[in-house]
Amino acid sequence: MRKVLSFSVFLMVGLLASQFLPGAVGEGYASVKSVSNVFLYVCLSFIMINVGREFEVDKTRWRSYAEDYFIAMATAAMPWILIAVYYVYVLLPPEYWNSWEAWKENLLLSRFAAPTSAGILFTMLAAIGLKSSWIYKKIQVLAIFDDLDTILLMIPLQIMMVGLRWQLIIIILIVFILLSIGWKQLGKYNWRQDWKAIMLYSVVVFAATQIVYVVSKHLYGEAGSIHIEVLLPAFVLGMIMKHKEVDTPIEHKVSTGVSFLFMFLVGMSMPQFIGVDFSEAHAGTHSITGSQEMMSWGMIIYHVLVVSLLSNIGKLFPVLFYRDRKISERLALSIGMFTRGEVGAGIIFIALGYNLGGPALVISVLTIMLNLILTSIFVLWVKKLALRSYNS
């Protein structure tokens, strides 16, 4: 409970820093921002390598996993679509309802609600004694798959934002190569997996993606640069490692510390929205969401509650499947998917690169915070349903 609440606290502290740090630092803020972005990407890489390490499947049961992937994909898609529709038809004026620009921006921003926070969820379910249960094992597969689906869908979403250029075709090719390597070499390499090694791998992944970006930018300019996000390379790197359980107090402390730092840096990456006239600040830019005027805090809180409800209703999709299990088990499985965290926050950070902002961005960040606060309640609810299933 304390750990999950701390995630929310660090995100909020970072959010507050993003509002007041620019004024306090002045001209040096650009340098501070560059350094914080480096740390943010390294932390995200660290987190995704560990998510990839949890990806353990039996290749002989690929048909079963194909069904699980479909369910995970739909479980990720339902909250995403519901929130995208809500953002367009409720937050935007009617003149934008048929605008493709408005739809593609909100399809990207609302994707934050799709991924389940696998790391937080696995840790808490194991802590309450469910690690050997069907619910835990099935959630493990679904949560990893919906994280993977989120990463893959970012490619077409980014294509929608910038258009189909030859550079994006190169990125798609790299994605297929990485996925092919991940599947063929799954769990093959017996590499070190203590926190120092994972941190080194994280730095290498970030450096590799930055080298590709810098070289392509030098050759073709900013518009022709090839920017590969660290999400997929880090995930695949974790996949190909032969999973080792490194269970020591220092490992837990470092892993938790990296997640705390990541949440703080995500909050600090948010654009200023206190005292800013968005319609004036973003005049002439391509961002429709970023040009919307900020609403009252009362309305923001209302929208946060509605968006949280819609996102969790969408996560109930697995209840319709696995009919050989009790309804309480299927409901527990779905409620376990309610947890959101680092990957969703990473999606919001990527959205910032396209000048997306305004009230929709603030609502998205606060929705993640609310779900983090409620995570312990969700997990206890799962435990109660699981005990009911096994005792009846």
Report the Cα–Cα distance between both ends of the chain, in Å, rounded. Answer: 28
Most confident range, picked from 24-38, 96-110, 161-175, 249-263: 96-110
Q: Which amino acid is at 203?
A: V
What would the pLDDT profile of 143-171 be if each residue is shown by its tens digit? 777 877 877 787 788 777 777 677 777 87
**How much is the average pLDDT of 182-211?**
92
Q: Which amino acid is at 214?
A: V
Q: What gap in Å lies between CA 322 and CA 47, rounded to an integer?
A: 30
Q: Residue 314: what pLDDT?
A: 92
Q: Residue 345: what pLDDT?
A: 72
The alpha carbon dihedral of 355, 360, 364, 365 has a sign of: positive
Region label for 41, one of left (φ > 0), alpha (ψ between -120 and 50) or beta (otherwise):
alpha
Which residues, including other chains, have CB under 8 Å from residue 262's CB and lie 6 or more apart?
40, 43, 44, 47, 342, 345
Query: Could you give all domains of the chain from N- to C-terminal order, each with its CATH number?
Result: 2-391 (1.20.1530)
The alpha carbon dihedral of 234, 235, 238, 240 has a sign of: negative
Helices (H), the chain: 2-25, 29-53, 62-86, 100-109, 118-127, 134-162, 166-184, 195-220, 231-239, 249-268, 278-281, 297-314, 327-336, 342-352, 358-391
Nearest to 191 by CA among 49, 56, 57: 49
Q: At what angle do helices 342-352 and 249-268 cross, to 10 degrees?
A: 30
Q: Residue 128: what pLDDT?
A: 64
Q: What is the DSSP letter of 89?
A: I
18 neighbors 272 (Cβ within 8 angstroms): yes
Q: Is the pLDDT of residue 284 over 50?
A: no
What would the pLDDT profile of 247-264 be if each residue is shown by its tens digit? 788 888 898 888 888 878
Q: What gap in Å lies between CA 390 and CA 322, rounded to an integer?
A: 16
Considering the chain, what is the average pLDDT of its residues?
A: 82
Q: What gap in Å lies between CA 240 and CA 279, rounded to an integer?
A: 47
Q: What is the DSSP letter of 189?
A: B
Whole-model pTM?
0.72
pLDDT band at 219 (very low <50, low <70, confident <90, very high): confident
108 neighbors 354 (Cβ within 8 angstroms): yes
318 neighbors 254 (Cβ within 8 angstroms): no
Top-confidence residue, 47 or 98? 98
3-state secondary structure of 241: strand
Q: Is the pLDDT of residue 342 over 70?
A: no
Q: What gap in Å lies between CA 191 and CA 198, rounded to an integer?
A: 10
Q: Residue 272: what pLDDT?
A: 61
**How much is the average pLDDT of 113-137?**
70
Q: Residue 275: what pLDDT?
A: 55
Least confident among 37-51, 127-141, 171-185: 127-141
β-bridge mates for residue 189, sequence order: 241
β-bridge mates for residue 241, sequence order: 189
Q: What gap in Å lies between CA 116 and CA 121, rounded to an integer?
A: 8
